[in-house]
Structure 1
Amino acid sequence: MLAQSLLVPALLLSVVGAVQDTVDVGYSIYKGQALPNGVSQWLGIRYAAPPLGELRFAPPQEPLRTPGVQDATIHGKYCLGTGRSPTDKSTSEDCLFLDVQAPTKATVHSKLPVFLYIQGGGFNLNSNPNTNASGLIINSGYDIVVVSLNYRVGPYGFMTDSDKIVPNNGLRDQRKVLEWVQKHISQFGGDPNHITLGGSSAGAASVTYHLTANNGTNRGLFHAAIAESPSFATTLSVAQSQYMYTQFATRVGCVGKDSLACMRKKTAVELQTSNFNIPLPGASKPPNYMWLPTLDNEFVQDYTYRVFQQGKFIRVPTVYGDDSNGGTKFAPKDTATLQESNGYVLDQYPVLTLEMLGEINELYPNPNTSCPAVGCYWRHASNVYQEARYMCPGMYISSVVAKHGKDAWVYRWNVEDPEQMASGLGVPHTVELNALWGADYVDDAPASYQDGQVNAAASPTMQHYWLNFIKYYDPNGRNAYDGSRYPQWKKWGEGAQSRLTFQTGGKAEMIPVDSGLRQRCDFWTRNGVALTM
């Protein structure tokens, strides 16, 4: 890819349709770079105006026009996170950037499938910024385009005041990127009519919110969905979340009728100093994540369980799944009694009744026999949290998708890393991201995922299915099942409810969901709306 002269902007894309490293997206011209591995990247592209001043706590606005050529070889800073240092130089309030990574050989006529990935972080931080998709693109046969993004989190993206602040601006940031992709992705070789929307944790919850946005109104912004460990949390109404605004404004010294104007004049450092979690209504301690999407009667019109129950979602093929021990990163390791375990769960879901907690204790016997001892109820709390928040909601959604005539596939990530097993984490939340992108392309991948180690084959196994789904909306490939060394991933609901289970060493097999898990998930499904999930 050779940059074209600024004196001849019409030639930017003129060489037999080839995508150039300099691309004009209308409001700005961005110069990316072609890497030696055959992948080109454009990093730090603004997709919205800087959310500063009067745009702080406001919906995303159109990006400003900029003169000259903008450097697109460095990631934009990611968004300010709750509980994070006010002097962290890697973050900024000016953070609405996206990255595009594509095969260098792509042309404006390639119409390659697009994977639009939303990172997680509990809606309180950007936990997986600066995605390196080179490995996935290379292993696709240089046949896909990947887009990743930052979006506002914490109070910047999810605070409202029942009056002047539009709720769910973090989700609106994401929609802005979906719209951006429709307008511009063809210039990078992508097909706007072939978009797989994916995400992990809060990113997977975001995928689910986009499936149900505005009661499932289909704007044609994506055509398939992958949700890795979708996070179902307590959802408050705008009125119920008012206390968060009141508390935050008070902490930063902005009381009175002009509190919003006052907060918009504060520096980001001043806001960050007071950006920490407090308990949900009815809880005694702060939850793992407090700032969350809010029922706004527009973007988020009802609890997710009820929206799916009513069939108000976009019908597209889906992949949902979770890790075997998705709660171990979150439950306190020193949980020593059943009362402490119940208290932790109640702090996450304060509308739990005493009767519900009693039924939970019956459904979840403590797997640890060392009590009394510090930490002997850690796994009890962890097991309740993981199935309530991640595992059971994903299986429920898949059942509803299948019921409404769309293909759905479910997985379980059960790849054991020796160090994580020894630490007691088991197979923790979102560990499969190391396999999705490839251990060489992520920071701090488990040692066993590296080349030559026991789980090195986990990445090609996962990428086989994900790439097929991104390309064909079927994880088994163009012809459903090609007889390869990878087992057929059967659809959810075909016969027994079975998940493709990724095992240690890169193996995978279809395993039916056991009766105990089905019974526990039935509890969360029955009570999901009552728990405001």
Structure 2
Amino acid sequence: MHRTLTALGCALSALLATAWAPASAMQPARPATLTVRTHDGTVRGADHGGYRTFEGIPYAAPPVGRLRWAPPRPAVPWPGVREATRPASACPQPAGEVPGGSTDEDCLHLNITTPDGADPARPRPVMVWLHGGGFTTGAGSSYDAHRMATRGDVVVVTVNYRLGALGFLTHRGLPGSGTFGLADQQAALRWVRTEIGAFGGDAHKVTLAGESAGGYSVCAQLVSPTAWGLFDRAIIESGPCTGRPDRPFAPSSVPLSTARADGAEFAAKVGCGSGRDVLTCLRRVDVSRLLAAQDTDQQPAHNTPLLPIDPTKAITVGRFHRVPVLIGNNRDEGNGWAAGIVQAGHPVTADTWPDVVASFFPAPGQAEAIVRAYPVHRTDGGPVFGAVIGDADFACPTARTDALLTAQVPLWRYEFADEHAPALTPGTPPFPLGAPHASELPYLFDLGGRPRDLTTAQHRLADTMIDYWTRFAGTADPNGPSSPHWSRQTVLSLAPDHIVPTLTAQTRHHCAFWNTLG
């Protein structure tokens, strides 16, 4: 039952993908072009009147042939002027967020959005965005960052990195295996340090930010010794650093031994388990076959050179880079998964609830304790299931991460709480979702290039959030004269016309219970 429900829950990723799917007819006109010289060659971007974009710039060599499952290599220089007026291919992934999916391994590209007037003589702070998607789906080009760039007066970089088995396969004979996708992110950060000045960005004010798997990626980079000095601040949205691999939905990492066993099983599944040269065989397998064989979600491996120890342990013992952090979660993080499972024909009732819980928490005594703490009295227990997912995997790990980091670095924590946030999925859910996973993203980006319908109050909230995020990128402090004060001692609740400290986050999410459950 656990595998069935997990697969159904992970199907939410495909459902959410409609929120990111680009609407080509709605893309703004691109009348003017401009050129910028990088060390690899000259790129020609587009001027949109108020902001400029440079899309599909390679930051590393195509990871194809012998470079499949190899650490990223420097980009190949090009002659003449390279067109950078449209995104390059997304990294290989099944259909969903990327319509039709992708099988193009030449995908290590990034996109840059700058405000008009970005001048190398007056550099702007830089925000590098890592997309979510369970380390299996997503693309940097899904995040139209022009509102953040123009209102916040920052340069925004969105990144593609290897996903799925191509990004995280682990094998004994592969140096760097289990973390190729994270290594790509570091290669992009090195590119930014070297090149972003030509685009008007300040290479000494780089904020690494991400959501979900992207947020967990920021956690991984916080503790990775090979990321030292690559960024100056960190923003972590719904990707707590202290998640656990024995609980579904939230991203985490797994031990190298576990990842190698999974890699051997994967190699056998694609017909390469018994050959003399497994790696040569794997590098010849068609991408579509690799995608069909991989798990729905992926996890990086620790006990590796890039992640010597589990990020949870590293944060706990204080082995992380000392940079200011902005971190948070959404109030109803788990409701989207719970709704997807209910809609798939698995109602949560008083009768089924004990079995549902036991499928996710099989350790002796855990399920019984959870059922007592989260009772279901009616036929519709979907919101209760959502609360368990959100509290166990997001809200309480975020609170724990806050407690561990705040003793060492400046930290600001939020909880996104707009219960009427624009829906990211089509149709009517089986119960009100409140502020579920990813619901804060339309306040920061135009997902798929499409602005969401926001009320006047929601527009004000979006402006305030962008102000907080970009001021943090510029000064390492989100506070400013135009926004409600954000104290480092409280959790700031973000809702339309109600941006106030909340003192009930710990109790609402039963964090004392989860801290003692084990």
**Pair 118,300 (structure 1): closer, same or farther in 2 beyond 3 Å:** same
Are 2:87 and 1:75 equivalent residues in the alignment? yes
The structural deviation recorded for 1:429 is 0.5
The DSSP-based 3-state class of the residue aligned with 1:98 is strand
The DSSP-based 3-state class of the residue aligned with 2:383 is helix
Conserved? CA contact 1:412–1:501, under 8 Å: yes
Conserved? CA contact 2:140–2:160, under 8 Å: no
- The residue number in structure 1 matching 2:370 is 360
| Mapping of residues 429-508 of structure 1, within 5 Å | 429-437=437-445, 442-443=449-450, 445=452, 447=453, 449=454, 452=455, 455-477=458-480, 482=481, 484=482, 486-491=483-488, 494=489, 498-503=490-495, 505-508=496-499
Conserved? CA contact 2:118–2:200, under 8 Å: yes
CA distance in 2, matches of 1:317, 1:408: 6
The structural deviation recorded for 1:397 is 1.6
CA distance in 1, matches of 2:418, 2:502: 14
1:183-213 deviation line (CA, Å, top 9, x unaligned)? 1111111111111111111111011111111
- Structure 1, 56-65 or 419-428: larger mean CA deviation: 419-428
- Structure 1, 158-167 or 171-180: larger mean CA deviation: 158-167
The structural deviation recorded for 1:323 is 0.9
Conserved? CA contact 1:461–1:506, under 8 Å: no
**Pair 499,340 (structure 1): closer, same or farther in 2 beyond 3 Å:** same
The structural deviation recorded for 1:23 is 2.0
The structural deviation recorded for 1:340 is 3.7
CA distance in 2, matches of 1:162, 1:129: 34
**Pair 462,101 (structure 1): closer, same or farther in 2 beyond 3 Å:** same
CA distance in 2, matches of 1:85, 1:402: 35
**Pair 323,514 (structure 1): closer, same or farther in 2 beyond 3 Å:** closer
The DSSP-based 3-state class of the residue aligned with 2:479 is coil
Conserved? CA contact 2:236–2:327, under 8 Å: yes
Match of 1:310 among 303, 307, 317: 317
Match of 1:221 among 215, 230, 233: 230
CA distance in 1, matches of 2:159, 2:506: 39
| Mapping of residues 125-204 of structure 1, within 5 Å | 125-126=137-138, 129-140=141-152, 143-165=153-175, 166-204=177-215
Identity of aligned residues (%): 28
- The residue number in structure 2 matching 1:111 is 123
Q: Which runs of 5+ in 2 are unaligned?
A: 1-32, 246-252
Please tell me the root mean square deviation across aligned C-alpha atoms, in Å: 2.6
- The residue number in structure 1 matching 2:501 is 510
Match of 1:414 among 389, 407, 417: 417
Match of 1:260 among 279, 300, 319: 279
CA distance in 2, matches of 1:311, 1:55: 35
Conserved? CA contact 2:90–2:139, under 8 Å: no
Conserved? CA contact 1:413–1:427, under 8 Å: yes
**Pair 85,54 (structure 1): closer, same or farther in 2 beyond 3 Å:** farther
The structural deviation recorded for 1:114 is 0.6
- The residue number in structure 1 matching 2:30 is none
1:398-424 deviation line (CA, Å, top 9, x unaligned)? 2222212x2211111111227759732
TM-score (norm 1): 0.81
CA distance in 1, matches of 2:96, 2:285: 17
**Pair 515,169 (structure 1): closer, same or farther in 2 beyond 3 Å:** closer
Query: Which residue identity is paired with 1:123?
Result: F
CA distance in 2, matches of 1:110, 1:91: 40
The count of aligned residue pairs is 462
CA distance in 2, matches of 1:255, 1:228: 38
Are 2:257 and 1:239 equivalent residues in the alignment? yes
- Structure 1, 43-52 or 395-404: larger mean CA deviation: 395-404
CA distance in 2, matches of 1:320, 1:357: 29
Conserved? CA contact 2:235–2:327, under 8 Å: yes
The DSSP-based 3-state class of the residue aligned with 1:389 is helix
The structural deviation recorded for 1:300 is 1.6
Match of 1:398 among 397, 402, 409: 402
Conserved? CA contact 1:84–1:272, under 8 Å: no
The structural deviation recorded for 1:523 is 4.6
Match of 2:216 among 205, 211, 224: 205
Query: Which residue identity is paired with 2:317?
Result: Q
The structural deviation recorded for 1:274 is 2.6
The structural deviation recorded for 1:69 is 1.3
- The residue number in structure 2 matching 1:339 is 354
CA distance in 1, matches of 2:280, 2:214: 31
Query: Which residue identity is paired with 1:342?
Result: V
- The residue number in structure 1 matching 2:16 is none
Query: Which residue identity is paired with 2:406?
Result: A
Conserved? CA contact 2:254–2:310, under 8 Å: no
The DSSP-based 3-state class of the residue aligned with 2:142 is coil
- The residue number in structure 2 matching 1:286 is none
**Pair 417,32 (structure 1): closer, same or farther in 2 beyond 3 Å:** same
Conserved? CA contact 1:459–1:506, under 8 Å: no
Are 2:67 and 1:55 equivalent residues in the alignment? yes
Conserved? CA contact 1:82–1:276, under 8 Å: no
Match of 2:511 among 493, 508, 521: 521
The one of the two structures with greater contact order (alpha-carbon pairs below 8 A, sep at least 6) is 2
